[in-house]
Structure 1
Amino acid sequence: MEKATTWPEPLSGRASPGTHAAMASTRRRLTVSLFVAVLMAVAIELLASGMASEARRSLQILALALVGWTLTSLDDTFVAVTAAVAMTLLVTGKPEALFGALGDQLIWLLLASFLLAAAFKASGITDRIIALAAGRLRSVQSLAYALTAILLATAFVIPSTSGRAAMMVPAYAAIAEHCTSPRVRRAFALLFPTIVLLSAFASPLGAGAHLIAIDLVRRLSGEEISYLHWIALGLPFAASSAFLSTSVILRLFLTAQERRAELALAHIGLDCEPLWQRPIFWIAAAVIAGWLTESMHGIDPTMLALIGALAAFFPSVGPISFRDALRDTDLSLLIFLAAMICLADGFVTSGLNEALVTMVFRPLRAGELSPAMFMALIAAIGLFSHLFVHSRTARVSILLPPALMLAQASGADAVMVMLTMVSATGLCQTLMVSAKPVALFGRLDENAYSADDLVRLSVVLLPVHFLLIMIFVLIIWPAIESMSV
C-alpha cells in the first residue's frame, strides 16, 4: 500500500490534533491564571485598604508572582525578575536597589562556588572516590551506604542539586551495568536523586534555596547565620535524613537476599589518577577548611571562595579553562537570587512585613497555637509544597517570608522556623516533575523507576521525615543551639 505523503506542519499550515489540544490547554491555563491574578489583585486592593499604598502594592506583586510560579508554565527566573522590576517601578522607586542586587555578597559566593564545582566535576574526583569505594565493597547494601556518604560530602562543594545529579549519572551507569537484577538497578536509580536532594541540607551551599533562606532571615528578622552555624545545625539532620532514606529504599524495594548480593565492581575506574595528585582536591579542601575556621582568621567566606576559584583556574592547575567554567555557571539561579534580594528589600522598605503581622498574623499568637503545633504546621506545609510548586528555590521564596512573619507574631525563633521550612521543602520525590534530579534519573533508561515507584517511596518517606523534623526542631536543634551559646 502506498504511503500518503505527510508534509511538515509549517508547510501544510495545519496543526495535528495533538498540537491543537496542547494549544487549547495552554490557552485555558493562561485564562485561569489571568483570572486568578486579577481576582487576587482586586481582593487585596479591597480587603487591605487599611495598608499603606506601598505595602499594598508589595503584597499585590507578591501575589502575582505566586500565580506566575504556581499556575503558569513561565520560567521561575522570568517571574522573579518581572516581580523585581515591578517592585522597583511601583514601590521602592530605586533602580539602584535592583541593579545593586547583582553585586550582593551572596551572588559572588554562589558564582565562586559554581566555578569551583565546575573544576571539581571536570577533574573526575568523584568518579575516583566512587571507584575506591566500589573496589573495597562487595554487597549492594554496603555500596549504597558508601554512595550516601559520598553524596553527602559533595554538598559542600557543588552548589546545585541538578549539578550534583548530573555529575553522578556516569557513576550510576557504571553501577547499573554490573547489576543483573532490574530491581537492584531500580533501587540505585532511586537512591541517587533521593540522596542528592536530602543531603543538600548539610551545607548552606548545597542548594541555591539555602542562600535565599539565609538572606530572607537576615532581612526579615535580623538573625545572621554563618557557614559554620548552618553546618552545625544542618549536617546532623542531612546525615540522619540521607542514611535513613537509604535504609528505607533498600528495605522497600529489595529483599534481604538482594541487599546482601555481591556486585563485581572491583575494577571500575581504578586506573584513575590518585586524589592527592589533583590540585583541585587540595584547593577545595583549603576553601572548606577556611570557611570552617572563619572565626580564627576573620577572612570573609566569599573572599575565600573567590580566591579558591581563581586558584583552581591558574595555568597548569585547572582541569578546564576559566571560560568553559563560566559557561557551566547556572546564570538563571544567580539572577533569580538577585531578583529575590530585590523583592525582600521591597517587602521591608514598604512595611509589608509589619503590616501583615499586624493585620493577619497577630491573632495566631503562641497562646492560641502551641510552639510544637506551630512547627508541625510549618513542617507539613513544607513537606507537601512540592506537589504544587515544582521548584525548590521557588518553594522557599514563596513559603518562607510569611512563615517568618508568622514566627514574629507568635514569638517563635526565626532560625528554627527557617530550618523547619527549608528541611521540609527539600523532600520532593513524589512526582517526576517535582525536582530535576528525580526527572533526570527516572528517564535514564527503561530499568529506572516509574511514577508508581516514586509514590510508593514518598508514602513512607513523608511521615518518616515529618517525625524526623519534629525530633530535630523540638529536641536536637535547641540542644545544639544551647551548646553553642
Structure 2
Amino acid sequence: MTETASSLIHPGWFAAIAILLWATSLLPEYLTALLFFAAVAVFRAAPPDVLFSGFQSEAFWLVLGGFVIGSAIRKVGLADRIAGKLAGRLTGSWLRMVAGVIAITYALAFVMPSNMGRIALLMPIIMALADRAGLAQGSPGRNALALAVGFGTYQLSASILPANVPNLIMTGAAERAYNVQFDYMSYLLLHAPVLGILKGLVLIGCLVWMFPASPRPIEDRAETTGLSAAEWRLSIILLVTLAFWMTDTLHGIRPAWVGLVSACLCLLPRIGFLNGEEFAAGVNVRTCIYLGGILGLAAVVAWSGLGSAIGDLIIPHLPLDPARPAADFASMIGLASLLNFVVTANGVPAVFTPLASSLAAHTGLTLPTVLMSQVFAYATPLLPYQAAPIVVAAGMARVPTGATVKMCLTVALISFVLLGPLYLLWFRLLNWIG
C-alpha cells in the first residue's frame, strides 16, 4: 500500500460502508461482501492476505463442511428419521416446538464445542421436522425454527466457556495479557442464569410472538423400516465426527478440519452420498461469500488499528466514576456493544481485552469484572452480520434478511432493557461488583 493511498483512503471508510449496507439490506449481503473485497483490493487499502483471510479461517471451512454434511443428512433420509423421533416430544403446540428447539441448541452446546458444527448438525434435522409439521419454505413458522437454531446456538452458548469462539478469544487474551484465568464452573455460574436460561426464555417468547404458526400435529409413529446401508454409513461418520468435536482438547485436531474430513467422506465415490451436482446445490455460495466478507472486514479493521483507536477515543468520554460501579459496568457493556458494530463478535474480545486494564483503573471495577462485562455485549448482537453463526443458520434455511434483522433488534432491545439490569444484579449477588 502506497503512502498516498494509505493517507487518502483508510480501510475504515470501506468497512463503514459495508456495515451500513449490511445493516440496511440495500444490496444483497453477498454483493456487499464482493464490493468490499473489490474496493479494498483496488485501492490497496489493506494487504490481500488480510483482506481475504476469512477464506483461510477455520470458521469458513467449518461452514462449507457443514453445508455438505447437512445435504448428506437430508439426502439419505437420516434427517427425516431423527425428526420423526423428535416429533412426538416437540409437537403439540407452537410454543412447545419452539421451546424444544431452543432447549436442544443449549443442551448440545455443553457437549459440542463448535457453533458452526452444531448448526450443521441441527439444521437439516429441524428443517425435516418443519416439513413434517407442514411448515413450508418461506413460511413464518419455518423461518422461526431456523432462527431458533441460529440464535439459540450462538447466543446461549456464550454462557458456556468452551462453547463459543469469542469466549475462547477473550480467555486466551486475558491469560496472555494479564495472567487471569477463568474456570468452567465459575464462568457457568456467572453467566448461565441470565445469558443462558433467561435469554433462552426471551428467544422463545420473541419467536412465538413474531412468527406465529400453527404446525399440524405429527403422529409419533414407529419407524417400520430399519436403517439403510447409506444411513448406517452416514451415522457412523456423524458419530465419529461428533466424538472428535467433543474431544478436540485431547487430540488437538480443530473442529473445522474434522468437519472438512467428514465432508470429503460424504463426497467420495462409493463411500459418500453426494455427486457434483448435489454438492453445488447443497453449498450456499451466497452465505459462504457473506461469511468471508464478515471475517475479512474484522481482519481489516484489526490490522488497521481502527478498533483500538475507537476504544482509545471513546474511553475519555465514558461516564466512568469509581464511586458508581453500576454505571461503570453499564458503560463497559455499552463500549463492547459499540465495538461489536465495527469488529463483529469475534473481534470484540481481541480489541476490548487489551483495554481492560486501563478501564479497570478508571472505574470502581476489578479487572476480572471488566473482562467479564464484554460477554453480555458480544452475546447480544444488534444486527446479524455481527454474529457469523446467525448468518450461517439463516443462509442454510434461506431465511429473509429482513426477518433476521427484526429478530436481532427485538432480542437486543429486550436484552438490554430487561436482562441488562438483572445481569448487573446477579454480578452484585455474587460479589463481582461492589
TM-score tier (shorter):
0.5 to 0.7
Q: 1:463 aligns with which of 404, 414, 417?
A: 414
RMSD over aligned CA atoms reads: 5.5
Superposition deviation, residue 419 in structure 1? 3.5
Superposition deviation, residue 111 in structure 1? 1.9
The letter for the 2-side match of 1:463 is I
Structure 2 CA distance for aligned equivalents of residues 356 and 148 of structure 1: 35
The letter for the 2-side match of 1:80 is A
The answer to whether the 8 A contact 1:77-1:332 is kept is yes
The answer to whether the 8 A contact 1:109-1:306 is kept is yes
The 1:192–1:469 alpha-carbon spacing in structure 2 relative to 1, beyond 3 Å, is farther
Deviations 1:335-384 (A, max 9, x none): 333334443343333332333233333332753774431355469889xx
Structure 2 CA distance for aligned equivalents of residues 320 and 293 of structure 1: 28
The residue aligned with 1:339 is 293
1:301 matches 2:255 = yes
Structure 2 CA distance for aligned equivalents of residues 365 and 397 of structure 1: 23
The residue aligned with 1:108 is 61
Q: 2:241 aligns with which of 276, 279, 287?
A: 287
Structure 2 CA distance for aligned equivalents of residues 309 and 352 of structure 1: 37
Structure 1 CA distance for aligned equivalents of residues 337 and 58 of structure 2: 32
Q: 1:175 aligns with which of 128, 133, 157?
A: 133
The letter for the 1-side match of 2:298 is A
Q: 2:359 aligns with which of 387, 410, 420?
A: 410
Superposition deviation, residue 472 in structure 1? 5.8
Structure 2 CA distance for aligned equivalents of residues 359 and 251 of structure 1: 40
Superposition deviation, residue 169 in structure 1? 4.7
Whichever of the two has the greater Rg, that structure is: 1
The answer to whether the 8 A contact 2:22-2:32 is kept is yes
Superposition deviation, residue 153 in structure 1? 6.7
Structure 2 CA distance for aligned equivalents of residues 170 and 377 of structure 1: 39
The residue aligned with 2:381 is 425
The 1:379–1:472 alpha-carbon spacing in structure 2 relative to 1, beyond 3 Å, is farther
Q: 2:329 aligns with which of 355, 363, 372?
A: 372
The 1:281–1:54 alpha-carbon spacing in structure 2 relative to 1, beyond 3 Å, is farther
Which runs of no fewer than 5 residues in structure 1 stay unpaired? 1-51, 178-184, 205-209, 383-393, 429-433, 444-450
1:69 matches 2:57 = no
Superposition deviation, residue 94 in structure 1? 2.8
Structure 2 CA distance for aligned equivalents of residues 67 and 143 of structure 1: 35
The letter for the 1-side match of 2:259 is A
Superposition deviation, residue 81 in structure 1? 3.3
The 1:153–1:272 alpha-carbon spacing in structure 2 relative to 1, beyond 3 Å, is farther
Structure 2 CA distance for aligned equivalents of residues 474 and 346 of structure 1: 37
The 1:296–1:189 alpha-carbon spacing in structure 2 relative to 1, beyond 3 Å, is closer
Superposition deviation, residue 328 in structure 1? 1.6
Structure 2 CA distance for aligned equivalents of residues 459 and 267 of structure 1: 34
User: 3-state SS of the aligned residue for 2:317?
Assistant: coil
Matches within 5 A, 1:56-455: 57-71=10-24, 73-90=26-43, 92=45, 94-99=47-52, 101-135=54-88, 139-140=92-93, 145-150=99-104, 168-176=126-134, 192-193=145-146, 195-201=148-154, 237=195, 241-242=199-200, 245-246=203-204, 265-268=218-221, 270-271=223-224, 273-274=226-227, 278-321=232-275, 324-364=278-318, 366-367=320-321, 370-374=327-331, 377=334, 405=351, 408=355, 410-411=359-360, 416=372, 419-425=375-381
The 1:252–1:469 alpha-carbon spacing in structure 2 relative to 1, beyond 3 Å, is same
Structure 1 CA distance for aligned equivalents of residues 39 and 173 of structure 2: 20
Superposition deviation, residue 108 in structure 1? 2.2
Structure 2 CA distance for aligned equivalents of residues 137 and 355 of structure 1: 48
Give the % identical residues.
17
Structure 1 CA distance for aligned equivalents of residues 171 and 285 of structure 2: 24
The 1:71–1:303 alpha-carbon spacing in structure 2 relative to 1, beyond 3 Å, is closer
The answer to whether the 8 A contact 1:148-1:246 is kept is yes
Superposition deviation, residue 55 in structure 1? 9.7
User: 3-state SS of the aligned residue for 1:70?
Assistant: helix
The letter for the 2-side match of 1:104 is S
Superposition deviation, residue 283 in structure 1? 2.0
Superposition deviation, residue 87 in structure 1? 3.3
Structure 1 CA distance for aligned equivalents of residues 410 and 245 of structure 2: 38
Deviations 1:165-187 (A, max 9, x none): 6764553343359xxxxxxx99x
The 1:376–1:104 alpha-carbon spacing in structure 2 relative to 1, beyond 3 Å, is closer
The letter for the 1-side match of 2:379 is S
Aligned residues: 376
Structure 2 CA distance for aligned equivalents of residues 248 and 87 of structure 1: 38
The answer to whether the 8 A contact 1:119-1:325 is kept is no
User: 3-state SS of the aligned residue for 1:299?
Assistant: coil
Deviations 1:415-471 (A, max 9, x none): 74654234322898xxxxx99969x8999xxxxxxx9xx99xx98995368544665
Structure 1 CA distance for aligned equivalents of residues 381 and 222 of structure 2: 35
The letter for the 2-side match of 1:306 is L
Deviations 1:284-318 (A, max 9, x none): 23223212222222223332222222233344443
Structure 2 CA distance for aligned equivalents of residues 353 and 442 of structure 1: 31
Structure 1 CA distance for aligned equivalents of residues 58 and 410 of structure 2: 40
Structure 1 CA distance for aligned equivalents of residues 117 and 11 of structure 2: 30
The 1:265–1:112 alpha-carbon spacing in structure 2 relative to 1, beyond 3 Å, is closer
Structure 1 CA distance for aligned equivalents of residues 201 and 254 of structure 2: 33
The answer to whether the 8 A contact 2:69-2:262 is kept is yes
The letter for the 2-side match of 1:353 is G
The answer to whether the 8 A contact 1:91-1:346 is kept is no
